[in-house]
Every structure is written in C-alpha cells, then in structure tokens.
Amino acid sequence: MIRALVLSMAQLGDPAIRRVLIRSLGVTAALFVVAGVALWWGVRAALSNWLGTQADGWSAALTIVIEMLALWLAFRAVAVAVVGLFADDIVAAVEARHYPKGLATARPVPFARGLAMGLGSAARVVVVNLILLPLYIILLATGVGTAAAFLFVNGWLLARDLGDMVAARHMDGAELRRWRKATGPARFLLGLAAAALFVVPGLNLLAPILGASMATHFFHMRRAP
C-alpha cells in the first residue's frame, strides 16, 4: 500500500491527472457554492416570518454552520461522486505509465456507468454516515473514538468503490464478484488508507485522485502472476 501511495503521489504532475484534479475540484467547489446559495435562500425564507428584518443576519450565520457540517459529512461523498465521472481518465493515465499491457486489454467504462457508480458511492456514504451520526457524537467523549469509527466505516465504504473503479475496466459479472471476494481484506486496507487521506488537511483535496490511482496500482499488483 505504501508503494502504491508513493507511485500515486509521484504521478500527480502527469498532465492527464492534473486535468482531472482541476476539473473535479472545480465541479466540487461549484456544487458546494450552489448548495450554499440555495441553502441561504431557503433558511432566509424560513426565518423571515419569525424574525423580519433580522432574518438576513441569522440566516447567514445558520447557513455557515450548516455548510461547515455539510462539508464534514458530505465532502467525501461529493468528491468521490465527482471524481467517479473522471475515474476512467485517472486509471488510464496510471495504466499507460505503469501497466501498458493492462491498458491494451482494458475496456473504457461508459459515462453512464461511471456516473451510476459515483452516485451510488455518494448515496452509500451519506446514508451510512447519517445513520451512524449519533454514534459519532457519543464517541466524542472518548477523544479518539469518533475519528476511529469514521475511518473504519469510510474505509469499508471506499474499499469496494475504489476497487470497482478499476476492476470495471477489466472484468464483469461472475469474474468481478470472485475478485471482490478474493481481495476483500486487502481492499479494506486500501479503503482505510484512502479514508485516512480525507482527514488530513490539504491531502483531503487530493484524496479522491490519490485513491483512484492507488486502486489502480492495487488492482494490477494483485492481478500480476
């Protein structure tokens, strides 16, 4: 896993990777800006009947609080969903540099399937983490329990999503299901490593790109005879 991370970070300067990074960060930022504006209008409308002219100030403050909470809960979901749209470009760039034989036999993932995979990943993240939110709050009393639970849960969620981004280019159906079963524990470590990147300031912006790149190395290293 360490080798996969080192190789992934070394390729961040690749033009194809850089283009995906810029596009994914741009789309992610735009989505949060649009959501923030819509949230502000919604909160302002809800408070205007109660607070009158003071609604503007309260709605701005409440919007900031909700946005900060949303960034903590939803950034990973939104970022992975967005990068899922461009995952094929990342995987192809890594394969072109390190695994040309794999690239030669790969089947590009159709846009519709990539979109479905990304949205499915985002939905699972939001639903599971919302269900576990009370547990996260309770574990705050332990000091480290919330972070540990968050890493474990999101590592488990990322394990399949990142693996499928790559495996979908090379296998399908029964073969894909056998690969998932055979690599379960190792993929969990991959997911855990990617989840850890999301909690490191600065690296969290690169985490979706690095996760997809690491998953590519993981797939081909595990598949090599």
Query: Collapsing DSSP states into helix, strand and coil, what is residue 47?
Result: helix
Q: What is the pTM of this model?
A: 0.79
Token couple for 127: 């639903």
CA-based R_g, the chain, Å: 19
Give me the mean pLDDT over the 176-195 stretch: 87
- Look up residue 150 and give its amino acid: F
**Spacing of C-alpha 221 from chain mean position:** 22
pLDDT digits (tens, 9 = 90+) for 46-102: 666 655 555 555 555 655 666 666 666 667 777 777 777 788 888 899 999 999 988
